[in-house]
Structure 1
């Protein structure tokens, strides 16, 4: 067989063949093609490969393979022969006894075969399969070691389009003789290398029970096989062979022993122990290893951590001994049912370990389910400093300000100011500030708390996150950019694990909705449908679905979503942190004439807010939702009450002036009054804060209420600009007011407009509104005349602007 050589090696080999002087050595690990190279060189030199004895050789060239396997007597004969003939000797770099070292030192030329390049690997592949992808695969698996390349190339199956290349079983089977010939210590080192030990010499000394010098010899012996690279790592194909051919119990024992040694050193064991899952390995040492690996996995992979704790129990650890920790892992992985079952078992068993830890786990799970009172009780019972901070949050959430302050005052600041403790303190202080202090200070505290928690929050079980609470405050306060930044960073950091991942995503979707990007909001909500939603998340999801449907004028979806809203409200008690969705539900209820379904929850919300002193920051969504519900129901007095409340808040904090000004415009519209300057200013204020849909809707609705043609055109253009739509060039005639037709649209006409722009036929609109298709056509004709539209497409464009994009009423 002709060796595959690069240009430099080929020229070197040719020079050695033509130069009859000097001895030659070929030194490389197993699999590097020494034998192929030696036979080729022997053929060129016209010599045979000798196997001994060597004392009677009279050839001009003596070619010897595998010199590392010869005994001292044979090596002495070769050394004597070197005085009368030319030697060409091949050997592995280990073992190298003194006699072999002396023999190899005689060589004037040394050949050191190198691994194949990718191009050389490609040349070894079967004809028709010499692709870049397959060459890359074979080179990666074999490290370019020629003998292993040949094994893999010969055993590759036929090409199957669309399938990923795999190492055949037949290629791995060819490693069986080599593994069988390995010295026991060398095999143990390779098993350790498979576990990822590498060249951790201190660990290897203890593992192999040899001194450092002996360990060095073992490593060199392993390298000489070609199965191990210079850094002590197995080639990928060698690792596959060991895992396929070495009994699993031997590999498991090695990993368990390494884990014991690592634990004794205080080292990490997750990488060692993870492959033991499912092997059935047991005993105290295995249980300890599984438990340590579970603790290590918790911050990065809670689901894996839970499986490792379960394996510790299977290996013999008493279930209650790790139940609290396993409950925490399950909770962080999103399995709140499993976490609550285990935590309750621990809490109710006086002899169980970590009962207070289990109480904290149960408290967090209950908070996600809206059970803030029970959650606060458990946090208080846990007695930890974190528990006191979380209990304070829960008590504020249910409106118990006095108890919340008392518990917060009991929290100690004696411990070290870690990122976690500092973040929790800021979160608690920020929530209290949002109730009794200034909104900007509260929001600042939440932002700082969220930033502190980002590096460490992935593995911390939280009842809520500062990012989520901060986003709520920012949404209430009209700071959408801040809200968006908080949830985006929390999603990227994985703050709070799986229980809070959905909450952060829902808040992101809420922001998308109020910005007017209804299609994106609907897509984001659809992406979450496969996830299990806890009651708090479900309430937000239903409110988003209602909000998107209402803004889009999709009455069918609005009706379907409302059926879910009733159950969602029953599953989640009213608390401070669900004021935002309640405000959205108020508008939907008014639109569907279902106000009675919300009356009890509204009473609870108002009582809760009253107990907290009616903080404007938390009450604003209720005022805003109540205003629009009153607009739909044409209840001017109720609308006026909500606007007055917003104006009182604006007197203390000008940021609330944005919604107050918009609210005042809505009340004026109810009375048939349109101040174009005030409406445009209020609309632009809402838009600047990020409330694109509300801004455009206000301007568009005002355009339907004015009888001033110039004002109508101006407000329509304002609405379109706020929606990011182009404004068509218009010429508004300068004529006496009396000659301008009135453009005010009636409530019925607005209802017809919403359904028409949603794509319904006149017959479908008539069926929905219990009027004839002819009457619908009459309404459309009147709207076209009043709006001065020259075509149906222009009419539809103007109607979309008037009722929202793509349209909503209420």
Structure 2
């Protein structure tokens, strides 16, 4: 209770039905006086002057003045107080009598429900406020409801039960008590789901609806579980004025049947109403409401549901509108609204239907999008966008550019078409200067254009991502989150790449059709950062799009290359080769495509991967040869040359990197590492140079590449101590660093003798000392001595560390497949 205490001669208690006003009234009356005279209003009293006072004053009371005098005499006795419950049902004359008695300072306590427009009740309230206090009651919180539940149970109430009751009753204590008692009477023992509204609740709701009047009753029966229904539609369905709907909701709220302050029935009241109303009557209500929603342009989704529930046909236009309403939030459900909808005979509507289906198919990740859009003629800007998006999903940005260019009509083409065209030009090597920034829709292409030009502005990429998340338009070709994260990754900005990819997943921008792409981008960035546990391929069903298949195959190849798993490298290449050999490349997929090309070099498929590097070289040239992308591509070719043991190609790419402007990150680190690779492959190992180059690579988001360089240098040097130091540094930088890099004789190059190398190889394979001794014709004790010497020379403290080094080097001694 909340009160504004003044004197103790009068009290006012106002609360919705089932909020506990009667209990509060009895408590207040006991505080004010010792002898309580009770009056209770009834619905029948509204039209019967002074009838409510008859039980205490007698039938002789004929008018307001006489009744006031008689009631004042009754209350004049010491300790006597009048307690009036349900005053909202009293007739105007009785209310006037009570107001006059209160103004005389006599003790009166009154409780009633909120009621608008009752002038006489308002006058009584004003009199009570002048002489006493006001208490307002309403729903209780979960904590406040717990004592009421405990009183019914006779023991402390479980929190889960209190929360369940609170959800069912909106926190009204009287309704909570009635519901719980009904559940208990019907045998519920707090296990499993409780039964629906018990009979006692149904009867109580029935009585309160009867008291609330015809309009309020029909409103409750019609709305049921639906909330947010427009007043215009309800008024039309019930054939009343809109103001009557507002009054009916007030009545239902005052009676404790609707959620206070909301035009929505309380959950358990809904259950009670559903038990009260016959199915045939419910069907009539829903059909009337469905028609009214159509006629008043109400919520299309709700209209479809209403009409479908009655079996009534849903007009095609309403189904299309319902799909539009759900397009961004639930494209799968939106598609369901269009299921089975054939030609309408209206050419414009059929065109809208085909485009909408195709858009939803793209957003939901359905391969049917192509079939739905195939019937539309060219040129058509909206259809062109979808056809271009299908081409992008098929990893054919150049085809997307052709489609969009053919549909660029007029001097001011559609905003989405203009943005898509700019994006396609960027992907296929267009100059960044052609992208404008006069429009929020262009923020994405403009931010990506800056990256393509060599100016990686993370703030602009994030601004574009935020704009896409707020936009009501759905990204059709791709999202700045996905392509931006891949470009940032290629440029070594792994922090920005991770932010963009995770935002794409978290906000579901682009819908379910791009969800896997964002998760793959997250895994890609995690792999590049050496976060192996987060770099796993997403486990949900594979995407139908070739672009996602290429990214997934590149992810598998990258993980396999970093662990030395030749079979997985081969698997990833086989999965992507068909798409790659089509010769279509794009800037956004530069890093994944080159990862697959490096995998091919590792397998010995140099010629089969040549189109990737050739196509990307032409693309970067078309871009105007920005140093950033020329350098990144040269570095990726160098990595491929190292994998293929092509020292001449390594030197060629190192020369290319050396010739570039060294002021653009990450070019200085890449050029320095390239020079070091040339030296190491030539047999020259300068520890400081190798370490500096590796750390520079790590500083640009290339820790694995840095560890790889140190691992190769460790195997080239003739100094065992230097090898151990480099190998330990490589392990610290990246645990899988040397898996790929050792050549034949690697164990001996670590400073081991020929016999120690033989023992080490068998230890790495998991053989016991006894088994090793049997194979080498030496005793187990001698094997143990060799192992101790191996650990000493490797500079490792535990057997586990020794096995890690030996197995990583031993894996690399396997000959590369041809």
Q: TM-score, normalised by structure 2?
A: 0.73
Aligned to 1:239: 270
Alignment of 1:673-684 (within 5 A): 673-684=684-695
Query: In structure 2, what is the Cα distance between the partners aligned to 1:538 and 1:571?
Result: 14
Shift of 1:238: 1.6
Aligned to 1:519: 533
Aligned to 1:131: 158
Shift of 1:39: 11
Are the aligned partners of 1:398 and 1:608 in contact in 2 as well (CA < 8 Å)? Answer: yes
Aligned to 2:362: 331
Alignment of 1:317-396 (within 5 A): 319-335=350-366, 337-347=367-377, 355-383=380-408, 384-396=414-426
Shift of 1:686: 0.9
Aligned to 1:302: 331
Query: In structure 1, what is the Cα distance between the partners aligned to 2:85 and 2:680?
Result: 97
Query: In structure 1, what is the Cα distance between the partners aligned to 2:333 and 2:574?
Result: 38
Are the aligned partners of 1:260 and 1:289 in contact in 2 as well (CA < 8 Å)? Answer: yes
Aligned to 1:50: none
Which deviates more, 98-107 or 325-334? Answer: 98-107
Aligned to 1:13: none
Are the aligned partners of 2:324 and 2:334 in contact in 1 as well (CA < 8 Å)? Answer: yes
The count of corresponding residues between Structure 1 and Structure 2 is 724
Which deviates more, 651-660 or 87-96? Answer: 87-96
Are the aligned partners of 1:372 and 1:398 in contact in 2 as well (CA < 8 Å)? Answer: yes
SS in structure 2 at match of 1:300: coil
Which deviates more, 696-705 or 85-94? Answer: 85-94
Aligned to 2:470: 455
Are the aligned partners of 2:601 and 2:640 in contact in 1 as well (CA < 8 Å)? Answer: yes
Aligned to 1:426: 446
Aligned to 1:502: 516
Q: 1:236 to 1:67 in 2, by over 3 A?
A: same
Alignment of 1:676-715 (within 5 A): 676-715=687-726
2:653 pairs, out of 619, 624, 642, with: 642
1:252 pairs, out of 286, 303, 309, with: 286
1:554 pairs, out of 544, 565, 569, with: 565
2:96 pairs, out of 102, 124, 134, with: 102
Query: In structure 2, what is the Cα distance between the partners aligned to 1:232 and 1:708?
Result: 81
Are the aligned partners of 2:358 and 2:370 in contact in 1 as well (CA < 8 Å)? Answer: yes
Q: 1:612 to 1:774 in 2, by over 3 A?
A: farther
Shift of 1:598: 2.7
Shift of 1:412: 8.8
Alignment of 1:569-584 (within 5 A): 569=580, 573-584=584-595
Query: In structure 2, what is the Cα distance between the partners aligned to 1:184 and 1:252?
Result: 17
Aligned to 1:54: none
1:796 pairs, out of 803, 806, 818, with: 803
Shift of 1:636: 1.3
Shift of 1:506: 1.7
How big is each residue's C-alpha offset from its partner over 1:680-737, in whole Å with a ceiling of 9 and x where there is no partner? 1111101111212222222232122212345334423433443499xxxxxxxxxxxx
Shift of 1:98: 2.2
Aligned to 1:728: none
Aligned to 2:44: 69
Q: 1:575 to 1:216 in 2, by over 3 A?
A: closer
Shift of 1:424: 4.5
Q: 1:194 to 1:582 in 2, by over 3 A?
A: closer
How big is each residue's C-alpha offset from its partner over 1:388-437, in whole Å with a ceiling of 9 and x where there is no partner? 442343355345x5xx89xx96x998xxx5422x3145157437xx2xxx
SS in structure 1 at match of 2:368: helix
Alignment of 1:463-612 (within 5 A): 463-522=477-536, 525=537, 527-567=538-578, 569=580, 573-612=584-623
Query: In structure 1, what is the Cα distance between the partners aligned to 2:593 and 2:12?
Result: 85
Shift of 1:581: 1.9
Q: 1:175 to 1:339 in 2, by over 3 A?
A: farther
Are the aligned partners of 2:286 and 2:310 in contact in 1 as well (CA < 8 Å)? Answer: no
Alignment of 1:282-301 (within 5 A): 282=312, 289-301=318-330
How big is each residue's C-alpha offset from its partner over 1:644-679, in whole Å with a ceiling of 9 and x where there is no partner? 222223557463121222122222222211121211
Q: 1:210 to 1:173 in 2, by over 3 A?
A: closer
Query: In structure 1, what is the Cα distance between the partners aligned to 2:10 and 2:42?
Result: 14
Query: In structure 1, what is the Cα distance between the partners aligned to 2:687 and 2:28?
Result: 97
How big is each residue's C-alpha offset from its partner over 1:734-755, in whole Å with a ceiling of 9 and x where there is no partner? xxxxxxx964799xx99999x9
How big is each residue's C-alpha offset from its partner over 1:503-560, in whole Å with a ceiling of 9 and x where there is no partner? 22222211211222223312xx2x3443425211111111111211221233443344
Q: 1:692 to 1:205 in 2, by over 3 A?
A: same
Are the aligned partners of 1:76 and 1:99 in contact in 2 as well (CA < 8 Å)? Answer: no
Query: In structure 1, what is the Cα distance between the partners aligned to 2:493 and 2:610?
Result: 29
Query: In structure 2, what is the Cα distance between the partners aligned to 1:179 and 1:241?
Result: 12
SS in structure 1 at match of 2:109: strand
How big is each residue's C-alpha offset from its partner over 1:469-510, in whole Å with a ceiling of 9 and x where there is no partner? 333332232222232233233333333233333222222211
Are the aligned partners of 1:142 and 1:149 in contact in 2 as well (CA < 8 Å)? Answer: yes
2:672 pairs, out of 658, 661, 675, with: 661
Are the aligned partners of 1:477 and 1:656 in contact in 2 as well (CA < 8 Å)? Answer: no
Are the aligned partners of 1:269 and 1:293 in contact in 2 as well (CA < 8 Å)? Answer: yes
SS in structure 1 at match of 2:455: helix
Q: 1:245 to 1:780 in 2, by over 3 A?
A: farther
Aligned to 2:727: 716
SS in structure 2 at match of 1:112: strand
Query: In structure 2, what is the Cα distance between the partners aligned to 1:96 and 1:556?
Result: 88
Q: 1:447 to 1:800 in 2, by over 3 A?
A: farther
SS in structure 2 at match of 1:110: strand
Aligned to 1:11: none
SS in structure 1 at match of 2:637: helix
Structure 1 gaps, min length 5: 1-5, 9-15, 17-21, 44-59, 726-740, 767-771
Q: 1:785 to 1:340 in 2, by over 3 A?
A: same
Are the aligned partners of 1:426 and 1:448 in contact in 2 as well (CA < 8 Å)? Answer: no
How big is each residue's C-alpha offset from its partner over 1:294-322, in whole Å with a ceiling of 9 and x where there is no partner? 33333333333333455988999965443
RMSD: 5.1
Query: In structure 1, what is the Cα distance between the partners aligned to 2:52 and 2:467?
Result: 75
Shift of 1:606: 4.3
SS in structure 2 at match of 1:681: helix
Aligned to 2:766: 761
Structure 2 gaps, min length 5: 59-66, 76-80, 113-136, 409-413, 737-747, 778-782
Q: 1:572 to 1:604 in 2, by over 3 A?
A: closer
Q: 1:345 to 1:751 in 2, by over 3 A?
A: farther
